[in-house]
Chain A
């Protein structure tokens, strides 16, 4: 196998794995019982999903300015994503939404 083919294969593996993580995150969004626990499932899409898809695209782009832009894109989303999630969670908490607690998230706490 030539170097190009190996790189191509790695890039497709990364793209496929990233897509799988996105799907698992989406399944988690549906399965989780309340708002706060759904946030955690969304976190998978933000980090591993987007990260692996962008990593796959970087391998496709090679050592070009496009790759630099993709990496910067990922860094910006890593800063902006959690900030937005924190704003959401804080807003929900302050408007009086109580998180479910206990095993399985069955108890409606405090």
Chain B
């Protein structure tokens, strides 16, 4: 029930923000569309912790600013590498542990790794993620496991 309600609220908010029209006719069309989509997805049985990830939504507000800061730092590091005449890269494959309990957590972690320049997740399997790292800095930054801990906390399952 929690997931159905949150999906409905998010869909309705999306409708209002994208349309920008607040006449009764268009709002009622929106309500109808949202009801239809929620009914269909309920029939398809895809409304769960993955289809409507409301569990992580509030903790995202503390995770996203930290991630944005990490992405900016990593960007500047890679920019410096690209602009140095000697191209000081040291690429390698490393395996990092993913301590998240659910697949959604693994996906968020792998996506965060890829989003950060200097590291790209190549293979996600079980509890390890194979990562291609461009420089020593990038590899060491990831191997501290700080991002892994934060994503696990974001997931919020003990």
Contacts and interface: CB of A to CB of B under 8 A. Distances in A.
Interface of A: 21, 24-25, 27-28, 31-34, 36-37, 39-41, 43-44, 46-48, 65, 68-69, 72, 78-79, 81-83, 85-86, 89-90, 93, 99-105
Given A99-B91, A103-B90, A90 B75 contact: no
A93 B75 contact: no
Contact of A81 (B72, B115, B116): B115
B132 A99 contact: yes
Contacts of A83: 111, 114
A36 B120 CA distance: 8
Interface of B: 17-18, 20, 71-72, 75, 78-79, 82-83, 86-93, 110-112, 114-123, 130, 132, 134
A101 B78 contact: no
B117 A44 contact: yes
Query: Which of B72, B88, B132 has the most A CB atoms < 10 Å from its CB?
Result: B132
A102 B115 contact: no
B89 A105 contact: yes
Nearest to A68: B17
Contacts of A81: 115
Contacts of B20: 65
The 5 residue pairs across chains A and B that have the minimum distance between CB atoms: A82-B114, A43-B117, A28-B82, A65-B20, A40-B134
Nearest to B107: A83
A110 to B, nearest CB: 9
A47 B67 CA distance: 11
Nearest to A79: B111
Contact of A39 (B83, B88, B110, B132): B132
A40 B122 contact: no
Contacts of B17: 65, 68-69, 72
